[in-house]
Amino acid sequence: MDEVEPPQDPNEWTDEQWLEWLKSTDIETYDQSERVDPSVVERIARSVPGQAIGQAMLGMAQAIYGHLDEVAVVEEGSGENLDDEPFRVQLDPEHPERSSVVFRPDPEKPKPEQ
């Protein structure tokens, strides 16, 4: 099946003909004599020292510029504390890590028996 192109209608060939054609194309594609060695940059990037240096560079970028993929959700509100909300938000602008959200139990749902 050398130099044979597949038919326009795939149903013209049997399964055996398709398998034979696929095997013949695999041999041509993966011929070891035509194999191209990876470039120097690819070999360094895949090596253990190259990966360690890459991770160090990413760490330095995050230390200098911060996490660039953080998403901030901003919504304007009235500032009033509404008791009918199922949660309560307490924001601390001075120390954002101390901000919290407290969820209240749903009064309509019965509590599970213990």
In a domain, 24, yes or no: no
pLDDT surpasses 90 at 56? yes
pLDDT score for 18: 84
In a domain, 56, yes or no: yes
In a domain, 31, yes or no: no
Rounded Cα–Cα distance for residues 32 and 35 (Å): 5
Mean pLDDT of the region 72-100? 78
pLDDT in tens, 3-28: 678 888 888 888 888 888 888 777 55
In a domain, 54, yes or no: yes
In a domain, 81, yes or no: no
Number of domains in the chain: 1
pTM value? 0.29
How much is the mean pLDDT over the chain? 77
Cβ neighbors of 5 (< 8 A, separation 6 or more) are none
Range of the domain at 47: 37-65
In a domain, 48, yes or no: yes
